[in-house]
């Protein structure tokens, strides 16, 4: 679990309460690599550091979907798949900050397509990197040196100006540091990590850097995971994770980036008739509309307040789109009339209960199977993972893919199922 800045320093003995061990970087790197290989995950291995490396951040579990959108956003196939260590668009790794963020790390020749991403909540340029760091206090000196000597700060500031025209990139800049720590045994606090990075930035000779936690021109993000430090400059702002269409909000409403990921998992096609039978404020339908052409979007909900919020968010856009006050378990639609069903089922936390869901889910899934066209897809997000496992065991639902995710710190899963052709 990530360590918060207010947590106490780990005491491990010795006269001063801290045991300072030698930096066994090779041993730590070996353990890191062996763990990744044991898990069969090459994307968890250390990556080769160089120019034009970015990272995109989304909800934990959706980093693979974010990467698919990134690769597709570079239209030229030669740009997306050109060979070479730092050419084209290529995924270098994935990381997960428990309960906080999923991260995809990749190379790209230019930043402009990243501006339009919908499944990512922030994008960054990687300016410093090191793996095999120890977790003892002397590592903070090495971390400060990484910030002081980070070679791609100028490049990142230029990219930031291209993505957000009008942002400052002059000789005198105010900055703040955001730090995250997870995994491993750290004998220092997150606040100590922030101070080390901040000291390294202040000692750089390229600009006059002034720390400013409130009014900052530049944000440095430091992520320390299992002895691996990734230092990056944020290239986006809150406009990337927020949407201007969200004028009406409901408690527990799905975040737009997660809604976009669910819509992308449905493999959008121009002939799609798309149904969200529990549409709430309409976020899923609107995000699907932004991903490409469709024949019709249909949203329904039994809650009149939710439908009112959806109508306000939809406005006069996204046609053709219909909103109805219908029961998701008994929809007045013909058999095999829907190409894609994308929905966030009730979790039994804010609405209803787990016992209610044990009765509701089988009825809803039976209705989904009735409505789905041959070859159509169902994409479901829910926190009721035990219930879904039981329904799968009983043969009431057959997913092709299950993605484990975390939504605002709560464990959840996405289930994707394809109807036989």
* CA nearest to 245, candidates 311, 158, 154: 311
According to DSSP, the residues that pair with 222 across neighbouring strands are 179, 231
pTM: 0.86
- 238-265 residue pLDDT tens: 999 999 999 998 988 899 999 999 999 9
CA-based R_g, the chain, Å:
24
Domains and CATH numbers, the chain: 25-234 (3.30.2130.30), 256-418 (3.40.50.150)
**Local structure of residue 327 (DSSP, 8 states):** B
Instruction: Look at residue 4 and tell me whether its pLDDT is greater than 60.
Output: no
User: Residue 282 has which token pair?
Assistant: 């309409």
Q: Which residue has the tokens 């034009």?
A: 52
- Other CB atoms within 10 Å distance of the CB of residue 31: 15
Residues present in the chain in total? 421
**Local structure of residue 329 (DSSP, 8 states):** T
User: Taking all residues of the chain, what is their mean pLDDT, rounded to a whole number?
Assistant: 88
- 309-324 residue pLDDT tens: 999 999 999 999 999 9
Residues 390, 327: Cα–Cα separation, whole Å: 24
- For 331, residues 6+ apart whose C-beta sits below 8 A from its C-beta are 275, 277, 300, 367, 371
Average pLDDT over residues 373-401: 97
- 34-56 residue pLDDT tens: 444 444 467 889 999 999 999 99
Percent over 90 (pLDDT), the chain: 78
Pairing outcome for strands 53-58 and 101-107: antiparallel
Q: What's the angle, vertex CA 163, arms to CA 161 and CA 166, rounded to 5?
A: 45
Higher pLDDT, 351 or 246: 246
């Amino acid at each position: 679990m990530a360590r918060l800045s207010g947590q106490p320093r780990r005491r491990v003995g010795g006269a001063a309460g801290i045991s300072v061990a030698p930096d066994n970087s090779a041993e730590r790197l070996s353990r890191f690599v062996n763990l990744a290989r044991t898990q069969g995950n090459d994307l968890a291995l250390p990556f080769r550091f160089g120019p034009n490396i970015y990272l995109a951040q989304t909800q934990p579990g959706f980093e693979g979907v974010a990467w698919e959108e990134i690769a597709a956003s570079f239209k030229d196939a030669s740009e997306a798949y050109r060979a070479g260590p730092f050419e084209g668009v290529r995924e270098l790794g994935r990381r997960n900050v428990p309960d906080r963020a999923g991260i995809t790390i990749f190379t790209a020749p230019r930043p402009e397509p990243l501006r339009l991403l919908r499944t990512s909540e922030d994008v960054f340029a990687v300016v410093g990197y090191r793996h095999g760091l120890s977790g003892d206090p002397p590592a903070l000196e090495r971390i400060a040196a990484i910030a002081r000597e980070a070679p791609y700060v100028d490049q990142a500031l230029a990219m930031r100006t291209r993505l957000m025209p009008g942002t400052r990139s002059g000789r005198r800049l105010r900055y703040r540091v955001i730090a995250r720590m997870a995994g491993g045994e750290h004998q220092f606090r997150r606040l100590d990590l922030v101070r080390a990075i901040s000291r390294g930035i202040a000692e750089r000779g390229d600009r006059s850097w002034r720390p400013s936690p409130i009014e900052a021109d530049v944000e440095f993000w430091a992520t320390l995971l299992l002895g691996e430090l990734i230092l990056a400059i944020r290239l986006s702002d809150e406009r990337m994770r927020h949407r201007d269409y969200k004028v009406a909000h409901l408690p527990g409403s799905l975040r737009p980036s997660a809604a976009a990921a669910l819509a992308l998992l449905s493999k959008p096609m121009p002939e799609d008739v798309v149904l969200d039978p529990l549409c709430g404020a309409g976020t899923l339908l609107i995000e699907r509309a932004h991903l490409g052409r469709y024949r019709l979007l249909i949203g329904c909900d039994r809650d009149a307040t939710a439908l009112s919020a959806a109508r306000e968010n939809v406005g006069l856009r996204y046609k053709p789109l219909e909103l109805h006050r219908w029961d998701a378990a008994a929809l007045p639609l013909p058999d095999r009339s829907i190409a894609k069903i994308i929905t966030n089922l009730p979790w039994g936390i804010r609405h209803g209960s787990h016992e209610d869901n044990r009765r509701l889910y089988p009825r809803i899934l039976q209705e989904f199977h009735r409505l789905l066209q041959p070859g159509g897809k169902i994409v479901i997000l829910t926190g009721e993972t035990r219930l879904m496992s039981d329904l799968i065991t009983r043969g009431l639902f057959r997913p092709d893919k299950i993605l484990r995710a975390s939504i605002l710190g709560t464990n959840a899963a996405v289930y994707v199922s394809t109807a036989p052709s």
